[in-house]
Amino acid sequence: MSDDELKTLIDDLRAEARRDRDPEDTPEIGIVMGSDSDLDVMAGSDEGRPGAYDALTQLGFEEVTDYDDPPEARFTFETYVVSAHRTPDLMYAYAETAEERGLDVIIAGAGGKSADLPNMTASIAYPLPVVGVPVQEKSLPSVVGMPQGAPLVAVDAGKSFNAALSAVQMLARQHDDLRERLVEYHDDLQAGVANVSRRLHEEGTPGFRESGE
């Protein structure tokens, strides 16, 4: 990213914060990650586990890519790469403008041993809640290790899917629609386990394995 590109991105976020958009037209959830190499963990991938993008779209959210032309869906999210160490000014601008830009909660993920994006974002965006995602196991201590008085909610390493569920749980306190979607998701989850359990029992272990588990 050139200096100009960085400056434009920061200016755009600050300009967006000054706009007085209808809250229904702004994203409720912001997803930030330290690098695009975190995308498979933060969004989810076919090869790995599902992620925050998968959870949110499953719950009916759509991704905003143009603030002037938001998607039809009532609930939306946005996604950015924000590096705590390589682009601290962008991290500051993103977190500082988050609430004014209409976000209700941020999901922030970073990898490596110095995974500072979630905790710095939480400090700057306060009182907006931030759900931290350690992208790797070794990132966990630096994400969860916040000092007293500086809160951050965090999920297990790699589980951005759960971060999205937690974010929607927060929103659901104010939106019955989302509460219903979460309950439906959970009912489906339970039905899925029950179905597997019955098949394993009725087909027996070898039969279950043969039928493709």
Residues that bind ligand RP5 (CB under 6 A): 34-35, 37-38, 83-86, 110-112, 114, 117, 135
Q: Do 38 and 117 meet the contact criterion of CB atoms below 8 Å apart? A: no
DSSP H or E run through 164? helix 160-172
Structure tokens of 73?
């869906």
Q: Which residue is nearest to ligand RP5 (CB)?
A: 34
Residue 168: CB atoms within 10 A of its CB come to 25
Distance separating alpha carbons of residues 185 and 55, to the nearest angstrom: 10
The smaller minimum CB distance to ligand RP5, of residues 70 and 118, is found at 118
To ligand RP5, the closest distance from the beta carbon of 182 in angstroms equals 28
Q: E strands of 4-126, at which residues? A: 29-33, 62-63, 76-81, 105-110
10/170 with CB nearer ligand RP5: 10
Closer Cβ to ligand RP5, 34 or 158, answer by number? 34
Q: Which is nearer to ligand RP5, 83 or 123 (CB)?
A: 83
Closest CA to 128 of 12, 28, 8, 9: 28
Q: Min. distance of Cβ 46 from ligand RP5 in angstroms?
A: 20
At its nearest, how many Å lie between ligand RP5 and the CB of residue 114? Answer: 6
Q: Which CB atom, from 59 or from 98, has the smaller least distance to ligand RP5? A: 98
Burial environment of residue 190 by CB neighbours within 10 A (0 to 12, 13 to 18, 19 or more): exposed
Q: What is the nearest approach in angstroms of ligand RP5 to the Cβ of residue 90?
A: 10
In the chain, what is the greatest distance between 2 CA atoms, to the nearest angstrom?
64
| Residue 143: CB minimum distance to ligand RP5, A | 10
Nearest 5°: phi and psi at 133?
-120, 110
**Choice between 64 and 81, CB closer to ligand RP5:** 81
| Minimum distance, C-beta of residue 34 to ligand RP5, in the bound complex (Å) | 2
Q: Give the separation between CA 146 and CA 210, rounded to whole angstroms.
A: 48
